[in-house]
Amino acid sequence: MSTINPFLSAMKQLDNAHAALTKGKKKNTAIDQKVAQLREPQRMVNVSIPVVMDDGSQKIFQGYRVQFNNSRGAYKGGIRYHHNVSLDEVKALSFWMAMKCAVADLPLGGGKGGIIVDPKSLSVGELERLSRGYGKAIADIIGPDIDVPAPDVNTNGIIMGWMVDEFLKVQRKKAKLLGVTLTKRDEMKLKSTFTGKAIRDGGSEGREEATGLGGLFVLKTILKKLRLKGRLTAAVQGFGNVGYNIVKFLDEAGITVVAVSDSKGGIYVPEGINPALTLECKKKNGPPDGGLAGCYCSGSVCDLKKGKQVTNDALLELPVDILVPAALENAITEKNASKVRAKVVLEMANGPTTPEADVILYKKGIPVIPDILSNSGGVTVSAFEWEQNLKGQHWTKAQVNTKLAKKMTDAAGAVWIASVSHKTDLRTAAFIVALERILKAMK
């Protein structure tokens, strides 16, 4: 994917929303000043993490935690492991988190973290030592009502578990210095500092699939408004946590997913892919990430005659009803936007469409359901996990999914209303909804 600076894209989106919000109104210095504050994070932390490698040598990794804005509550946002992580990327992602939490009307602000690393090149032991090192390095600036991290690209519940463990060690040490012993209840509350944990560590039912399921609820709401129905087809870029789950939920909702891809390339299966069999086949292709090559699985079998290979670029240009970028930033740019043939784009990744591409898609009449709305199901169930830990509760999956459905439907409805009343695209509308809520909360 291209090297367009995601933070510059994020700021362009902020400018568009600010302009739309103040259009035709008298100059309001108070609003302008608050928006100016939203152009920079409140705090940025750069950590270096020394890790003993399996061969006894030492490697030093660079990591970040950016705390963008906490006007509506504790900073909230995932931790990404990727060789392309940069400070500007983490800044952009933390800004989008602030906007996302506001769109979903959660009592949380925005933050994000990342480590520059190719995790697939590490052994499990090295990955654990790196994760523990990062957890320890940021322990002083996080907490249930300060900053609440979660998984993102290449991180998961196991990694969160290692970080929680390190965070608790630091907290126990601090308590000991004060002559206090932490009770089980105290520790459960402290565990709410990380979400996306495994269930046995205090995680929430439904968290792993929440981003995908939330995306489906948003999509259904917007499709109704667009009056798009009948036998719909979809193509999904990315087949990780978010990509796999949205494929699964689209399939369950009767939408035929004809193409999926991962970082190694994609597959096109016109009859519609079987998500579980495709995942199984990808795993069989070998660890750590064998790729989708030859996984033409449809109905109840995988058969080489059922499909063909497709490149990541070609997948974005397929004549489907719904295009779902679910991998990384900058998938749809000014170079390929004019070739998109879908009727609607559902952004499940963060920042997959550049502002220039947005303009092209808008002119082509292709609505883009923006990331800060479509993928907000993940942080919504993270917020539920945080709430359950703080209250000492454990909700059933049915309870979680009912609450998620309501949050997503309300958020999509609010964005649609803003797009109609401000006569603007869905992204600008989502930013308007978020900005209004954040500006109200800012002192």
Least CB distance to ligand NAD at residue 363 (A): 25
Which position among 237, 298, 389, 401 is part of the footprint of ligand NAD (CB under 6 A)? Answer: 237
CB of 296 to ligand NAD, least distance (A): 17
Give min distance, CB of 23 to ligand NAD, in A: 30
Mark the segment that binds ligand NAD (CB under 6 A) among 56-64, 123-131, 166-174, 231-239. Answer: 231-239
Alpha carbon distance 385, 397 (integer Å): 12
Q: Which DSSP category does 302 fall into? A: E
Assess 1 for contact with ligand NAD (CB under 6 A): yes
Q: How far is CA 134 from the centre of its chain?
A: 20
- Tell the smallest beta-carbon distance from residue 210 to ligand NAD (Å): 7
Nearest residue to 329 via CA among 347, 317, 342, 311: 347
Classify residue 24 as exposed, middle or buried by CB count within 10 Å of its CB (0-12, 13-18, 19+): exposed
Q: Which of residues 84-143 bind ligand NAD (CB under 6 A)?
A: none
CA distances from 78 to 58, 63, 70, 118, 172 (A): 26, 13, 15, 17, 24
**9 counts as binding ligand NAD under rule CB under 6 A:** no
Instruction: Return the structure tokens found at 202.
Output: 């205090």
Q: Mark 336-365 with x for binding to ligand NAD (rule: CB under 6 A) and - for no binding.
A: ------------xxx---------------
CA 320 centroid distance within chain: 23
Residue number with CB closer to ligand NAD (135 or 352)? 352
Which two tokens mark 212?
């995908």
Beta carbon nearer to ligand NAD, 89 or 189: 89
Q: Is residue 193 at the binding interface for ligand NAD, with CB under 6 A as the rule?
A: no
Residues in the interface with ligand NAD (CB under 6 A) total 25
Residue nearest to ligand NAD (CB): 240
* Piece in contact with ligand NAD (CB under 6 A), picked from 66-74, 158-166, 180-188, 322-330: 322-330
Edge to edge, the sheet with strand 256-262 lists: 308-310, 265-268, 256-262, 233-237, 322-325, 344-346, 368-369
d(CA 125, CA 156): 15
The binding track of 146-175 with respect to ligand NAD, each residue x by CB under 6 A or -, is -----xxxx---------------------
Give me the count of residues in the chain: 443
Cβ-based nearer residue to ligand NAD, 22 or 263: 263
Rounded to a whole number of angstroms, the minimum distance from the CB of residue 349 to ligand NAD is: 3
Q: Does 270 bind ligand NAD (CB under 6 A)?
A: no
Cβ–Cβ < 8 Å for 232, 258: no
Asked if residues 412 and 217 have their Cβ atoms less than 8 Å apart, the reply is yes
Annotated catalytic, 283? no
Residue from the set 111, 378, 404, 428 that interacts with ligand NAD by CB under 6 A: 378
Q: What is the 3-state secondary structure (H, E, C) of 61-75?
A: EEEEEEEEECCCCCE
Q: Which residues bind ligand NAD (CB under 6 A)?
A: 1, 151-154, 211, 237-243, 261-263, 312, 326-328, 348-350, 375, 378
Active site residues: 112
